[in-house]
Structure formats: C-alpha cells, structure tokens
Amino acid sequence: MTLGRKARDKRPRVKPVERIALPEGNTALRAAAAVVFLVIGVTLLVYAASRLFAVDPGWQTIEAGASEGTTCGDEFVFSYELGAGEASAAAESRGLKAVYTAACRKAYQLFHTLESFEGVVNLREINLHPNETLTVDEGLYRAFETVQRSGERTLYLGPVYARFENVFSCIDDAQLVEFDPQASEDVRREYEAMAGYARDPEAVNLRLLGDNQVCLEVSEDYLSFAQREEIDRFLDFGWMRNAFVADYLAEELAKNGYTNGFISSYDGFSRNLDSRGTGYSQNIYDLVDGVTYPAGVMEYDGPMSIVYLRDFPSDELDSRRMYQLRNGELRTTYLSTADGRCRSAADNLICYSKMAGCGEITLQIAPVYVADTLDASALEALAESGIHSIRCEDWVVRGTDPALALTNLYENEDVRYTASLG
C-alpha cells in the first residue's frame, strides 16, 4: 500500500552526524591500546590452545585411538604414570597412545576367529587352511609355543565354542535348547563328539615348524566330520583369549620402553609392567549365598601377572561370556575338554606369578579350575613352580604364598574374615 501525500511521516527525527576532530595524541593512544589488547587476545588464545592439548603428569588412563580401526581396547583398562621419565608427559602420551593403539589393533586381528584381515595370518586363516603351512606373526607364534609347552588342549575346542557362544545371545531360557548341552540331549552328544576330537592329537594338532611357521594338521576322519557338521573353526582360545592378548600388549609396550603402568581386562587378566617398586593392590572378593564380600586386598610391587577367574557377573561386558537362567544358574565360557560343558570349581580364584605370563598361568590353572571340585593339592603343586593362588573358603582367605601381603580383611557385626597363608 502506498502512503497518501497527506499521511504523516512517523519516522523518528535523527540528528545529523557531527564530525568531531580528536587531537593526534588521542589517536596514538588508541592505537597503542589496540595493540595491547591484540597481544592480550593472542596470548589468551595461545594459552587456551596449549591447555586444550596439554597433558598433566601423573596417572592417566590410556585409550586406544578410535580412528585407527577396530581394536580390543574396549576390553582392557590401561593405566600409566606419564612424565615419570625423561620425556614430558605430553610427548610420552603421544608416543604411548600410538604404540598401544597399534598393539590393540594387531592383537584384535591376530586372535580373531570370525574375520580375515588383509596381510594378516590369524586364527581365522589357520582354521580355513588345514594341513597347509602358514607363516604367522611372532606374537601369535609365541602364544602357540606357550600352549604347546603346557600340553593343554582347550585351544582345540573351536567347534564347541562356535556353537556354545550363541548361548550368550539368548534372551530367553527356551532358546538354550539349541546350544546348551545341559538343556538338550542331542546337543550334549554333539559336544561330546567334538570334545573327543579336541582331546585327540592324532585328530587335530597345530605343528610348530620354527621361523613362525605353523601347520594345522587335521585327520581325514575329522575333516569329514567337520564337513558334515559345517565346522570351520578348529582352533579358538575361547575364555583364555584375553590372557594371551594381555601378554601380547605387555610385550609390545615393554619392547617400546613403556613400563610405568599396568593393564587389565574386564574378564580378569592383568599385567603389571612397573619395576620401580611402586605399590599396587588387587582386591579379593568372595561370593557367599549370592552376596559378594570384599574379603581383603593383596598388596604387591614389581612386575606381576594376575589371573582372576570368577563364575559370576560383575561387569556389564560379562554378558559376552555369561548367561544367567531364571532359576539363577549360570552358563559361562569355562568349557571342559572332557565333554564340552561349562564348569567352574570355585566362584573365585586368583592366581599370580612374578615370572610367568597370563597365558602360561591360565593354561596351568585351567584343568584345576574347569572342574567339578577344586583340588587344593594341585594349587600347592603350582605354588612350587612359582604360580601362587588365593581363594576364599568359609570366611577364610587362603593363600599358597606365605609372604603374601594381605590387608583390609573384611569384618562387620555378622562376618569376619581371617587369613591362612602358606
């Protein structure tokens, strides 16, 4: 709409702009002030940027880089004291994170049984090429050597793990009938047959040829069985995997000079690399009638490998390896070579050594723990070889090491823990 000529102009009256001359001295002062404010602004920006990327010295949790591909980092906690050496905390953090990320990525690939990776001969590749000679990574070869020295055959339960791990994806007990030998007679017979092959070195055996070369020898009978049953996983570290991954990560970190810290997995495998005399502790828990008690604390210093086995959930990641039935029973990944069923001789068992790695400890303790009852004499025999253990029985914390530093024994009005060492 166009305004008529007689319409009143309602716009406010604005005074004309006046030009005021300032003395030259004020102009110079303003310029100087502008420079000062510019310097202050730049200084603040530089300080803010430096704080954004600064790394304070002291204990920090180191995480594997998410942009470097899938790693095993989500299953481990790595704590490290930055800046304790000659390098600055920031420089050490950058180098440490790069080494740790690369190690986590490589370990994830090497021990994978379901996926192949370009240029990597891992468990999947070995399983797909029976009776062929392959060259593997040195770290994986060392793990195989540890298995071979022990004589333990859990590694060959691959077909059972491939089937049983479906239990942990079940959302109702009725689904167990397809995978649980305790819920189905047919499944029980299938597992017994597969466990029979796993126990027989004439049926399946990983031969180590030196120079990191291996050959998975599988008999014609087993190959025929595998073809009928659609089996393509002969080898699988199963519940022991993170024991060997922890060793692999520890070796890679130490090789690159990073030893002022410790690493532990959610399922109980820890490696302490610190040789400075720094004090560390390991909590000891006891499960009694469904209640978990903080029974005591193990104090120690120096490099140490710790294996903490438990058959009840305490971490949200435990759903990957445990299933609880409506009646309270648990199914775990502790599978026996006797028949492929899960077993655990105790709710908790801690084993540790200053000399052996997590993989070696786990292989030695496997036949003792994956059993119907706990053999105390077997634990005493292991102690003679430098692998000590801690267990709880009837409100008593029992340790095979007489020199164990045990503190903070739990007690309240109704419960009191005591210690029995040696």
Helix (H, G, I), strand (E, B) or coil at 422: coil
With beta carbons less than 8 A apart as the criterion, state whether 339 and 160 touch.
no
Q: What does the longest C-alpha to C-alpha distance in the chain come to?
A: 114
Residue 103 pLDDT: 98
Q: Which residues make Cβ contacts (< 8 Å) with residue 112, sequence separation at least 6?
A: 122, 123, 124
Which range (190-194, 311-315, 414-418) has the least confidence?
Answer: 311-315
Residue 66 pLDDT: 82
Residue 54 pLDDT: 64
Residue 86 pLDDT: 83
Residue 25 pLDDT: 52
- Other CB atoms within 10 A of residue 357 CB: 23
What is the arithmetic mean of pLDDT over 208-224?
98
Token pair, residue 344, equals 């655990």
What is the arithmetic mean of pLDDT over 51-64?
81
pLDDT greater than 80 at residue 406: yes
Q: Taking Cα atoms as reference points, which of 301, 241, 232 lies closest to residue 268?
A: 241
Question: CA 161, 163, 169 angle in degrees (round to 5)?
Answer: 100
Q: Which residues make Cβ contacts (< 8 Å) with residue 232, sequence separation at least 6?
A: 127, 128, 226
Segment (H or E) for 58: strand 58-62
With beta carbons less than 8 A apart as the criterion, state whether 334 and 370 touch.
yes
User: Checking DSSP bridges between strand 133-135 and strand 213-218, what pairing results, if any?
Assistant: antiparallel
Helix (H, G, I), strand (E, B) or coil at 291: strand
Of the pLDDT bands very low, low, confident and very high (cuts 50, 70, 90), residue 6 is: very low
pLDDT greater than 60 at residue 13: no
Residue 34 pLDDT: 53
Q: What are phi and psi of 294, to 5 degrees?
A: -80, 85
Residue 14 pLDDT: 43
CA 387 to chain centre: 21
What is the arithmetic mean of pLDDT over 328-351?
97
Q: What are phi and psi of 237, to 5 degrees?
A: -70, -20
Strands (E), 266-399: 269-272, 279-288, 291-301, 304-310, 322-324, 330-332, 348-353, 388-393, 396-399
Average pLDDT, the chain: 90
Task: Kindly list the distances between the CA atom of residue 369 and the CA atoms of 108, 236, 312, 377, in Å, as whole numbers in the listed order.
Answer: 26, 19, 14, 13
Cα dihedral 199, 201, 204, 207 sign: positive
Residue 4 pLDDT: 38
pLDDT greater than 50 at residue 51: no
Residue 69 pLDDT: 80
Residue 315 pLDDT: 87
Greater model confidence, 149 or 86: 149
pLDDT greater than 80 at residue 193: yes
- What is the distance between the alpha carbons of residues 332 and 18, in angstroms, rounded to a whole number? 87
Q: What's at 127, amino acid-wise?
A: N
Of the pLDDT bands very low, low, confident and very high (cuts 50, 70, 90), residue 173 is: very high
